[in-house]
């Protein structure tokens, strides 16, 4: 039985949207304390639409595949849709991840949320802190860890 789906292998071998966006409107960096993997997402947002998204991931194959798929899922979409993206949706779009690799897709969800929070903060856009519940408690975001 194959451990990884074809889609996971495809996005791992040929990740989409790898790189950096200069002057990004939002940047989110998160890490998983246990495995040490780090994911950084860059967003370009115009009129509430995510016009471009890039990522850098220093981590396992599932984390790279999850980042790649997550960027594909939010590119061209409104901010609110990106906010609603769950790690479950990322894993499903990859035709599943092994149970012990599900946390890799969580990293993708958290990185996107962190980038959107950065976008809101940079632009002084008011938001309900409840939409970023993890940011208050998880401590994954490097910005939260600074200082
Ligand atoms: Fe750490 Fe996959 S093992 S993100």
Tokens matching residue 76: 């061209």
Ligand 1 residue neighbourhood (C-beta within 6 Å): 32, 35, 37, 59-60, 62-63, 101, 104, 107
Tokens matching residue 4: 């990884």
- Tell me, what's the pLDDT at 147? 34
- Tell me, what's the pLDDT at 34? 86
- Tell me, what's the pLDDT at 40? 97
64 in any annotated domain: yes
| Ligand 1 center from residue 58 Cα (angstroms) | 9
Q: What is the span of the domain harbouring residue 63? A: 6-133
Q: To test ligand 1's pocket by mutation, which of 15, 103, 140 has the most ligand atoms within 8 angstroms of CB?
A: 103
Query: For 14, phi and psi rounded to 5 degrees?
Result: -125, 65
61 in any annotated domain: yes
Tell me whether residue 35 is one of the annotated catalytic residues: yes
Please give the model's pTM, rounded to 2 decimal places. 0.89
98 in any annotated domain: yes
75 in any annotated domain: yes
- Tell me, what's the pLDDT at 130? 80
1 in any annotated domain: no
Atom from ligand 1 closest to the CA of residue 101? 2
Q: How many domains does the chain have?
A: 1
**Active-site residue identified among 35, 60, 135, 141:** 35
What does the H/E/C string look like for the chain? CCCCCHHHHHHHHCCCCECCCCCCCEEEEEECCCCCCEEEEEEEEECCEEEEEEEEEECCHHHHHHHHHHHHHHCCCEHHHHHCCCHHHHHHHCCCCCHHHHHHHHHHHHHHHHHHHHHHHHCCCCCCHHHCHHHHHCCCCHHHHCC
141 in any annotated domain: no
Of 2, 26, 112, 34, the residue nearest 68 (C-alpha): 112
- Tell me, what's the pLDDT at 138? 53
* Residue segments in the chain with a per-residue pLDDT below the cut of 50: 1, 136, 142-147
CATH number of the domain residue 129 falls in:
3.90.1010.10
- Tell me, what's the pLDDT at 135? 56
- Tell me, what's the pLDDT at 134? 61
139 in any annotated domain: no
Among positive and negative, which fits the CA dihedral 92, 21, 121, 28? positive
């Amino acid at each position: 039985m194959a451990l990884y789906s074809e889609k996971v292998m495809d996005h791992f071998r040929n990740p989409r949207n790898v790189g950096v966006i200069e002057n990004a409107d939002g940047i989110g960096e998160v890490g998983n304390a246990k495995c040490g993997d780090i994911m950084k997402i860059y967003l370009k947002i115009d009129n509430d639409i995510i016009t471009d998204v890039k990522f850098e991931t220093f981590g396992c194959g599932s984390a790279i595949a999850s980042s790649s798929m997550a960027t594909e899922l939010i590119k061209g979409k409104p901010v609110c849709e990106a906010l609603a993206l769950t790690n479950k949706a990322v894993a499903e779009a990859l035709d599943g991840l092994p149970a012990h690799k599900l946390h890799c897709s969580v990293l993708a969800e958290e990185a996107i949320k962190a980038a959107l929070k950065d976008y809101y903060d940079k632009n002084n856009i008011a938001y309900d802190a409840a939409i970023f519940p993890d940011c208050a408690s998880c401590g994954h975001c490097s910005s939260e860890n600074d200082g």
